[in-house]
Chains A and B, each alone.
Chain A
């Protein structure tokens, strides 16, 4: 099992550009999550999904969008990049809401 994979590892964006952060898991997990991690701030939930076709907002969803067309994939879309979106983004998955969340290796994003 590869677990949770994320691409790209690192990206530099200009203000106003858009991009999609990819996340995939091969553990047949129903629940998937997107977090951002800023220095000294812990992890904040952006969006989550409880299954294919079902997504909802977390704590900090502004400026982001998600979709979940398959169990395996949960891409995060940034439409108009802003410097405030400079962060490290982690995708996670779990079998159910009570089970352990497994994290991917992260995508470092710099918006200039």
Chain B
């Protein structure tokens, strides 16, 4: 079983739709949760960063963490064609490793069509 599972999609939605992206994980030591956005042929860029359980909102983006279910989500409201990208979840523990190891999901390919 992979430590982090993410549905690779692809996911295709019309402009304006609400998008829900999800990851599940098995390691209860994970405390920090991230969502990276990766445009085609580019490097990942950090989109959202949350600690422990709860919600965090930034503009059209909301990140949710449910540690009891080992489940994290990213919601995109009023999706735009410019949101078309691969979304990677990533997570790490509270610092037990010496180098801040990130464990990534496989990434979900999202296309928002006009």
Contact = CB atoms under 8 A, between A and B. Distances in A.
A103 B34 CA distance: 14
Given A103-B45, A105-B42, A106-B42, A43 B88 contact: yes
A103 B44 contact: yes
Contact of B49 (A31, A96, A97, A100): A100
Interface residues of A, number: 28
Chain B contact surface mostly = loop
A100 B47 CA distance: 11
B44 A42 contact: no
A101 interface: yes
B106 interface: yes
Contacts of B97: 97
Q: Interface extent on B, as a size class?
A: 20 to 34
A98 B104 contact: no
29 contacts: A4-B43, A31-B99, A33-B99, A40-B8, A40-B107, A41-B106, A42-B6, A42-B104, A42-B105, A42-B107, A43-B102, A50-B98, A56-B99, A90-B44, A96-B100, A97-B97, A97-B98, A98-B95, A100-B34, A100-B46, A101-B100, A101-B102, A102-B46, A103-B43, A103-B45, A105-B41, A105-B43, A106-B43, A108-B41
Interface of B: 4, 6, 8, 32, 34, 36, 41-46, 49, 88, 95, 97-102, 104-107
Interface of A: 4, 31, 33, 40-45, 48, 50, 56, 58, 90, 92, 94, 96-106, 108
